[in-house]
Amino acid sequence: MAPIEHLTAPPGKSDLAYVLPCYTGELWTIPTSNSTMRLLVTGKETDNAFAVVGTGGTFDKPIGFHYHKEAHDVFLCLKGKINVWANDKARSLGPGDFASVPPGTIHQYQIDSAHTEFIGLIIPGGWEEFFRFIGEPYVGPLFPTNDRRNPFEVLIPKLMAATEKFDMIPVREKAQFDPQPWDGTENKLPGVCEDGGYYLKEGMGEKWAVGGTVVRPLATRKETNGRFSIYSLEGSSLQAGKGLSKPVEFKETHHAIYTVDGVVRLLIDGSEVKTTVGETTFVPAGAKWSFEAESVYARAYVFANGGGIGEILQSLGSKYEFLSVPTDAVAWDESKLKALESELRFAVI
């Protein structure tokens, strides 16, 4: 049982579980921007199933309207404010707010606070090569703020070349417009993947409870044409052992776990690792692993190709309507696990 490696950048191979500390990753900045992209998981770790990219920055202009033929983007705000446009809608996202942008949707984003942090999953993996192509390696504490070079010299030629090399089609004729008020349509998942995508407000949407764990989907396979899922998992050490504590194995599904609050305890192939706020853990397909809260309260976002651990918990759980994790464990039927194994393509260890 080798200890789980703590790295500062993704290792570039698909069979290694690892942890990245807060604000680390493979760091790139787009010339003349006020932001840094942190590659947390790349296509090399997931066999091009997906990539996870964190971004930090300060006030900047919108990046420009564009769309992708194949890539599906998501924007999950962690800190500050980010404006996200999708076709004829636009919203200002605060911490916990989410936007899903399927292929074909004309979109752009804008960092709009003194310090914004957001995280996104990119399907398929490998598209993150775009950032390497147009970007420059970054060495610094957070992000650049004083790049005054001429973009027509250091950026525009790269962008023009990138449109031919990558799945990024600019839509220069689309007129800019201001973000619109939240209107209540952002309070539940749409249940389908459709042009224009959707927004989801922090804490909104249905929730399920399994023991002391509360699971809330931000994107299920229904919203992504079966390609990926994103779930929020919350729990408490006071309910340790009362939820799904047995290790599970997914032969084809990779997971990336981003700890948002408290301390999360993961057991991966027999090795224990505890992660805290801002840390990213990658669990490759084929690993045998479990997830529990180590602190009195803990929360994490879980990204997976396919339904993954989030879909298991959703299938096992009971509908849950309260704002916080349960004081008393919510009963669940462990016998359902075996029945779900073939349907959700996992094995209980």
Average pLDDT over residues 245-270: 96
> How does pLDDT run across 97-122, given as a tens digit for each residue?
999 999 999 999 999 999 999 999 98
Which pLDDT value is given to residue 239?
Answer: 92
List the beta bridge partners of residue 165.
Answer: none
Q: 49-53, 163-167, 254-258: lowest mean pLDDT where?
A: 163-167
How many angstroms separate the CA atoms of 337 and 267, rounded? Answer: 19
Strands across the sheet containing 66-67: 89-93, 82-86, 107-111, 66-67, 169-170
Which pLDDT value is given to residue 238?
Answer: 95
- Residue 1, pLDDT > 70, answer no
Burial of 174 (C-beta count, 10 Å sphere; 0-12/13-18/19+):
middle
How many angstroms separate the CA atoms of 20 and 241, rounded? Answer: 26
> How does pLDDT run across 213-239, given as a tens digit for each residue?
999 999 999 999 999 999 999 999 999
Eight-state DSSP code of residue 285: T
Beta-carbon count within 10 A of 133 CB: 14
How many angstroms separate the CA atoms of 55 and 78, rounded? Answer: 10
What tokens were used for 94?
């605060």
If we measure between CA atoms, which residue out of 344, 283, 289 comes closest to residue 313?
344
How many angstroms separate the CA atoms of 315 and 319, rounded? Answer: 10
How many angstroms separate the CA atoms of 292 and 235, rounded? Answer: 7
Which pLDDT value is given to residue 113?
Answer: 98
List the beta bridge partners of residue 136.
Answer: 29
Q: Is the peptide bond before 124 cis (omega within 30 degrees of 0)?
A: yes
- Residue 17, pLDDT > 70, answer yes
How many angstroms separate the CA atoms of 143 and 115, rounded? Answer: 10
For 318, phi and psi rounded to 5 degrees? -105, 145
> How does pLDDT run across 170-210, given as a tens digit for each residue?
999 999 999 999 999 999 999 999 999 999 999 999 999 99
Eight-state DSSP code of residue 175: P
Buried b (16+ CB within 10 A) or exposed e, 17-47: bbbbeebbbbbbbbbbbbbbbbbbbbbbbbb
Which pLDDT value is given to residue 280?
Answer: 98
Beta-carbon count within 10 A of 50 CB: 26
Which pLDDT value is given to residue 234?
Answer: 97
Structural domains of the chain ordered from first start: 26-199 (2.60.120.10), 206-348 (2.60.120.10)
- Residue 349, pLDDT > 90, answer no
What would the DSSP string read from start to end of 217-238?
Answer: EEE-GGGGTTS-EEEEEEE-GG
- Residue 164, pLDDT > 80, answer no
> How does pLDDT run across 281-299, given as a tens digit for each residue?
999 999 999 999 999 999 9
Query: Residue 213 belongs to what H/E stretch?
Result: strand 213-219
DSSP alpha helices (H): ranges in the chain?
43-46, 129-134, 151-154, 156-165, 308-316, 336-344
Q: Which amino acid is at 76?
A: L
How many angstroms separate the CA atoms of 200 and 110, rounded? Answer: 18
